[in-house]
Structure 1
Amino acid sequence: MTRHVEPPIGRLIRRHRLRRAMTQTALADALAAASGNRSVSRDQVSRWESGGRVPGPYWRGWLGAVLDLPRQELDRAAAEARAARLLTIAGVPTGRSY
């Protein structure tokens, strides 16, 4: 049985979104309003939280602004998520439980 593992960046985004009592749609709307970029959607937020995608530098900047998170914290969590993904793709057990 495979257990779903939430990546560090996804956990961080979800935790701070929920602290603000925001839905994924509300976060996407807030990101679009703050950035002026309507390309972000609830589906994108969901992919970030589930680990399907890691937000790039552009969206990490706006996530930091909207969720009041330090950019360095988001960058560090994104780097951890990418490293874990590479290890998983390579078949290396990480021994981490996110």
Structure 2
Amino acid sequence: MTANGEHGDPTPLCELLAGQRIAKGWSQCDLVAKLHNRSGNDSVTREEISRWERGKRIPGPYWRQRLSDVLGTPNRELELAAAVARRQRRKIID
């Protein structure tokens, strides 16, 4: 899954992360372990991954870079997907 969905519509970060994790056959716990190993930072939890994937939160630049490294996804693609997610959140609020 890329930052563009099936119909060329931009994909929000929550869908992109979940799709890429599932495509790799990883559980949320697997992704947490890989992020811990890559970053040396154990502050992210499975619950936080769940929030990201449900669109309840958007990971900040630090974690987006680590996600890029772990998932093998260009950081630019994650940044675009985060921007899409932020726009969607604003529409819900307005």
Q: TM over 0.5, yes or no?
A: yes
Aligned equivalents of 2:40 and 2:24: distance in 1? 21
Unaligned runs of 5+ in 1: 1-6, 91-98
Are 1:70 and 2:74 an aligned pair?
yes
After superposition, the C-alpha distances for 1:4-52 in whole angstroms (9 at most, x for unaligned) are xxx7101110111011110001101110110000001100100000000
After TM superposition, give the deviation of residue 67 of structure 1 in Å. Answer: 0.4
Name which one, 1 or 2, has greater alpha-carbon Rg.
Answer: 1
Corresponding residue for residue 30 of structure 1: 34
Using structure 1 for the length normalisation, give the TM-score.
0.83
- What is the CA RMSD across the aligned residues, in angstroms? 0.9
Unaligned runs of 5+ in 2: 1-10
Aligned equivalents of 2:57 and 2:45: distance in 1? 13
Using structure 2 for the length normalisation, give the TM-score.
0.86
Are 1:89 and 2:86 an aligned pair?
no
Query: SS at the partner of 2:43?
Result: coil
Aligned equivalents of 1:65 and 1:46: distance in 2? 19
The alignment of Structure 1 onto Structure 2 pairs a total of residues equal to 84
Detail structure 1 runs of 4+ shifted over 3 Å in the superposition. Answer: none
Corresponding residue for residue 18 of structure 1: 22
Instruction: Report the residue type matching 2:22 in the other structure.
Output: L
> Identity over the aligned pairs, expressed in percent?
44
After superposition, the C-alpha distances for 1:39-98 in whole angstroms (9 at most, x for unaligned) are 0110010000000000110000000000000000000000010111011111xxxxxxxx
Aligned equivalents of 1:19 and 1:87: distance in 2? 29
